[in-house]
Amino acid sequence: MVNPWKMYVKLSAVLMGSHGLTKGSLAYLNYPAQLMFKSTKVLPVMIMGAFIPGLRRIYPPREYFSAVLLVVGLILFTLADANTSPNFSIIGVVMVSGALIMDSFLGNLQEAIFTINRDTTQIEMLFCSTVVGTPFLIPPMLLTGELFRAWNSCYEYGSKRVQVD
């Protein structure tokens, strides 16, 4: 391992938050609206890239202008979708926006890790962030009961699989 554990703790926390908010937003948004939001990931990535130590990217004004036009299109789509969709809530918009911010931080943080320490491998990044992220997931899964539902689902699938074979 070539990077400090605290780097993987940050990475895991952001990854868990991003995935959790993305999946959770589907309870409040329809899938096309969520997909539209996720497709505007470029703007938060550009903005966050300017502030991450080790990257400090600067984009030409025309790229920021293009990204702003993309967001304006999203706003217009969202306003139209809010009037026609039975499954649309501002809570979902806030959740998917939070997921976008975490996604932008995640991508830039991973790139900064690779840039700062060129000995980092993708396997190390994946393995360490998974090992560190697992303890983050267990408490909320225990509190919500999701851990037991997931375990039972796997057990039922395995039982059906054995009977078929």
Q: Tell me how far apart the alpha carbons of residues 65 and 113 are, in angstroms, rounded to a whole number.
A: 28
Q: What is the pLDDT of residue 95?
A: 92
- Residue 110, judged by CB atoms within 10 A of its CB (0-12, 13-18, 19+), counts as middle
Task: Tell whether pTM > 0.75.
Answer: no
Q: What is the pLDDT of residue 158?
A: 61
pLDDT of residue 164 exceeding 60, the answer is: no
Mean pLDDT of all residues belonging to the chain? 81
> 36: which 2 tokens?
């539209």
Q: What is the pLDDT of residue 93?
A: 87
Query: What is the average per-residue pLDDT within 33-55?
Result: 79
Q: What is the pLDDT of residue 99?
A: 93
Q: What is the pLDDT of residue 83?
A: 67
Percent of the chain with pLDDT over 90: 6
Q: Tell me how far apart the alpha carbons of residues 43 and 23 are, in angstroms, rounded to a whole number.
A: 21
What's the residue count for the chain?
Answer: 165
Q: What is the pLDDT of residue 54?
A: 67
Q: What is the pLDDT of residue 72?
A: 83
More confident residue, 148 or 71: 148
Q: What angle do CA 85, 91, 95 make, to 5 degrees?
A: 110
